[in-house]
Amino acid sequence: MIHAHLTIDPHFAVGPIDRRLFGSFVEHLGRCVYDGIYEPGHPRADEDGFRQDVIELVRELGVSTIRYPGGNFVSGYRWEDGVGPREERPRRLDLAWHSIETNEIGLDEFAVWLRKAGSDLMYAVNLGTRGVEAALDVLEYANIRSGTMLSDQRVANGTPEPHDIRMWCLGNEMDGPWQLGHGTAQDYAQLAGKTARAMRQIDPGLELVVCGSSGAGMPTFGEWERVVLQETYDEVDFISCHAYYEPHDGDLGSFLASAVDMDRFIDSVVATADHVKALRRSDKTISISFDEWNVWYQSRYHDVEKITDIETWPVAPRLLEDSYSVLDGVVVGSLLISLLRHADRVTSASLAQLVNVIAPIMTEPGGPAWRQTTFFPFSVTSALARGRTLELKLDGPAYDTALYGSVPLVDAVATHDAETSSTAVFLVNRSLDEEATVEIDAALLGAVEIGSVQTLHDADIHAANTLADPERVGLQANRTAHRDGGVVTVTLPPVSWTAITLV
């Protein structure tokens, strides 16, 4: 039996929790948009062709902000293709994913869907094959009320009110050789800086995200951030981080410790940003938008033979449709712990992606929509994490991993909402075969009672929800928790994620 102890003190906070930490990502990729959120012939489709069962699940998931329309897709995207009469919209080659884009859904339609889903829009502009002019055009179309050519075009297209998009991404993964328009850090930084300055001439209050590295393993990582921020520091508010995790060669111990890598990634980017801040003698602090993160079995995608004959490229093919296990869900829960632990600097994040494509929500054309295992830790954390993240003192045993060295067997984070006097504790047991008993010293919270205790666990860590069995895995009420004075004790099964509320 593993024994761990943590102390909660509401007087010591990491920082306030920005609701944008619980964002997601919709890209024109595979069946994320078409046959995902949009399926006009479906029995649950509404008058706009959007699946109401998907909207209900998105609302349950608790998604705050959604990044759109990419992703790799955006680096070849002409935003004008997706507005105006549908019958006049062109079909285009999507070079990023070897598909045909029909442009049935564009900015205006997606904004309609967002209102139904209760989420805000984070829009990405194309700095791969386009630049300043196209960014200014889509900003004018989206945010100016009327009286100009492009704003009046939006009104004529049936959207009289501006979309008022506040957060804009300046391209996507421009450090990656796979990206259309990829260049050096200096090339990208100069273009991003020009674009940011131009966009601010229309609206100085925009929040702008500059591209950081597409992964901590990139050969330019660190230097890319330094060069880009030195050029754009005064013009932007965020730098992006992207990270995906999967087990390699059966190394489940390292996979369960993926949050350690995320912690180090964030700390490295913060250090670089603050180095540039010091060099510039600036009073401004750059935040992180971790706008792509998830478990993604990329090796499966790379092993699939790609369609090279352009004449046979499909519309909305089944791409990246990972089926997630309990093990994967626990890792997603631990990554959420890492994001919360850095709430002082990570103030926006996007789980990639939302529907069908490496997603917490799956659909079948003409059929049901269901929750994957990764749905549960996200929805519960989004619902419970309020107020501020607290500094924790956590003591417990560690284990050795091949990738990250010695790692705690139990990881945790706590949040506290002063307005409601409620506290949430999120815990992960990384052990493959041992239970963990965790003592939570909550005396400094005052007289609290245990509220809900929910656990993601299964005797079969590879169990998953599928079309054939969409409710195989769900959250369990953890009945082991009890309070003795100011100490709450809970037992965590092996390979599990647990959320506890203290009220």
Give the phi and the psi of residue 145 in degrees, each rounded to 5: -65, -50
DSSP code of residue 462? T
Cβ neighbourhood burial of 284 (10 Å; 0-12, 13-18, 19+): exposed
Beta strands (DSSP E) in 409-502 are 410-417, 422-429, 436-441, 450-456, 476-477, 482-484, 487-492, 496-502
- Distance between CA atoms of 181 and 188, rounded to whole angstroms? 9
Structure tokens at 9: 């003190």
Q: Are 320 and 296 in contact (CB under 8 A)?
A: yes
- Distance between CA atoms of 102 and 88, rounded to whole angstroms? 11
Neighbouring-strand partners of residue 406: 400
Q: Is 292 a catalytic residue?
A: yes
- Distance between CA atoms of 336 and 381, rounded to whole angstroms? 8
Determine how many CB atoms are found less than 10 A away from the CB of residue 397: 14
Write the DSSP string, 31-100: TSTBTTTB-TTSTTB-TTSBBHHHHHHHHHHT--EEEES-SGGGGG--GGGGSS-GGGPPPEEETTTTEE
> Per the residue annotation, which of 39, 109, 140, 173 is the catalytic one?
173
> Per the residue annotation, which of 80, 109, 140, 292 is the catalytic one?
292
Give the phi and the psi of residue 4 in degrees, each rounded to 5: -135, 155
Structure tokens at 173: 């993964």
Q: Are 36 and 469 in contact (CB under 8 A)?
A: no
Cβ neighbourhood burial of 409 (10 Å; 0-12, 13-18, 19+): buried
Instruction: Enumerate the active-site residues.
Output: 173, 292
